[in-house]
Structures are given as structure tokens and as C-alpha cells.
Amino acid sequence: MDSPPPPPLPPATGQGVPGVVADPAARPELPGEAVAFLGLGALGTPMAANLQAAGFPLTVHNRNRQREEALAALGARRAPTPLEAASGAALLCLCLSDDAAVRAVLVEGPDSAIGGLAPGSLVIDFSTIAPATSEALAARLAEQGVAYLDAPVTGGTEGARAGTLSVLVGGSERDLARARPLLEAVGSRISHFGPVGAGQRVKAVNQVLVAGSYAAVAEALALGSRLGLPMAEVCAALREGAADSWALRHRAEGMLAGRFPLGFRLALHHKDLLIALEAAAATGLTLPISERVVAMEAELMAAGSGDEDVSALARWFESPTTAARATPRPQQRP
């Protein structure tokens, strides 16, 4: 399903505009290769806007065609199908919700992008999907001479708008070198971890860390609130010590106020965490904290919070059934 509408695009010109990379003239030796971008959700829209601002010739397509309009107003060409978007594109970018969406848009069906990709083109997949799916797609594309990088990102909508995402890349050094100018238009750190699938494996590790840190902040805030503490002052003090984290700095205030501005959808994090749990199970490893967070997210999704930010984990502690849940009580101190 389509994600909620992305935030409004920032202006496309001018120095120092939040959410848009610097003047394209400041980026030397742009490749000039035609780019197609498929998937204009909360991350994809600002990423594509930064490519447009950086001077890349850009074609866009999204299942909900209305989401193409803001980018078209900035100069992007619209395509009615993935196939037509890919036709003539040297670099094809994907930023889609899950494995099924990536397969459908890229290789399945008469209008999928693979029908328009020419030998020698390169697919850069920013989606978060299973490593095995990335590997299978790379093998399928290679049959017709098309290269593939898995390049999931982390940094949320804030990083997408500012062009400061961390890009986690799997694929060949040669393909990464070709893609690097494009990647540097959307991210401030480009890290190469090995062959196709490696980027997705690192993203799984990232999502385990996100699960633990967000849940820990939500739990700590719930405890402090129940203890009647002045939580704004508590958070300010704890940010200066060992308990500091990105989630504490950037999400605690919203959690305390019951506001969950969208950085990354809870339902998508739940999907990503299931990928991490599957990867762990394949190695014989148990991830008890991630298993607990997956269960919490499932409850919140059932209650209608799936389209909210991951920080909506704080809602779990507000539920009237929280106290009634079958959670083992800690042993009493002697």
C-alpha cells in the first residue's frame, strides 16, 4: 500500500534551503546520465528532489500518480509506467515499501521496469528488503546485462530532505564508483560492505538498534512520568550522560507530548525487524529484545498506529491494557 503523503517539497533553488542540496554547480563532474526514480513516498520524494536539484536529468513514476506532480513542477519528467520510466534511463532508482513491491515494479508484469532497461544500465535499490530478494533480483537483471546495487538508507525523512542519509551499499566496486555521484546527492556517508545483499544485512542490524533504542526511550519516559518527575528536565540531564541517543535527542519531546512526526513509519519498521529476525534465525541466533518490540508494534498496528512514526511505541505504555499484560514481575530485592 502507498504510505501517507510525504511532507511538502522545499524550494528547489537557492543556497542554504533546508532539504535541498547545494547549487548543482558546486558538484563537479556530474555524470549527466539519465535517472529514473520509482517510489515517491516519505523518503523517495525528497531524495528525488535532491537529485533534481543536483542537476540529474530525472524521470519519476509512482503508483499514486498525484505524487509525481510536485517533482514535475521542479522539472522532472513523468512516466505512466515503470517500463516507460526505465526506457532511456542509465540509472534506475527504487525506493519502495517491501519485497513484493520491488519485484512487481522491477521484474514482474508487462509494465515492469526490466522491459525498459538497456544492457549496461544500473539499478540502485534504496528499498529495505530481504538480502535474498536483492540477490535474486541482481541475478535476474544480470541475465540481460543490467547491474544492481542494494543501497538501503538510514536517517529518516529528516536525512532524506537534508541530503544527509547514510547509504549502506552492497554490490561491485565498479558499480559503486559509477553510482557514487548520485549517491552523494542523497547521502552524506556512503559505505560499501561487500557484494549484493550486504547492504540489506547491515540495514537489518540498523533496525535492531532502532528497535532497542526507541523502545528503551519510550519505556524510560513512561517510568519517569509515572514517578511524577519533570520529564523535560530529566531528558535534558540524561542527554549529557551515557544514556544519550539519537532517539532521546530527537524523539523524546514528541513522545512526551503525544506527537509522532513522521520520520519512518512504524509499520515499515515492523516489516524490517521481521527481516532481521529471519536473518538471525538462519544463524541460530535469538533476538529477545527485537522479538518483544515486534510484538509491541503488532499491537500498535492493530490499534491503528502503523502509519505513525516509530516513536509511537510510546503509545504502547499508554494503553489501558498495559498493566494487565502477562509480563513477569521482577523478583523482590532481599
- Could you list the active site residues? 203
**Rounded Cα–Cα distance for residues 237 and 247 (Å):** 15
H or E stretch at 77: strand 77-78
Q: In 123-153, which positions are buried (b, 16+ CB within 10 angstroms) versus exposed (e)?
A: bbbbbbbbbebbbbbbeebeeeebbbbbbbb
* Environment class of 230 (CB within 10 Å of its CB; exposed 0-12, middle 13-18, buried 19+): exposed
b (16+ CB within 10 A) / e for 169-194: bbbbeebbebbebbbbbbbeebebbe
Task: Please name the residues in contact with 25: beta carbons below 8 A apart, sequence gap of 6 or more.
Answer: none
| 39 secondary structure, DSSP code | -
The amino acid sitting at 288 is P
**Between the CA of residue 173 and those of 27, 179, 257, what are the distances in Å?**
22, 10, 46
Amino acid occupying residue 325 = R
85 contacts 76 by C-beta, under 8 angstroms = no
Cell of 163: 541530503
Instruction: Give dist(CA 265, CA 110) in Å, integer.
Output: 30
Beta-strand relationship, 58-61 and 35-38: parallel
If you count them, how many residues does the chain have?
334
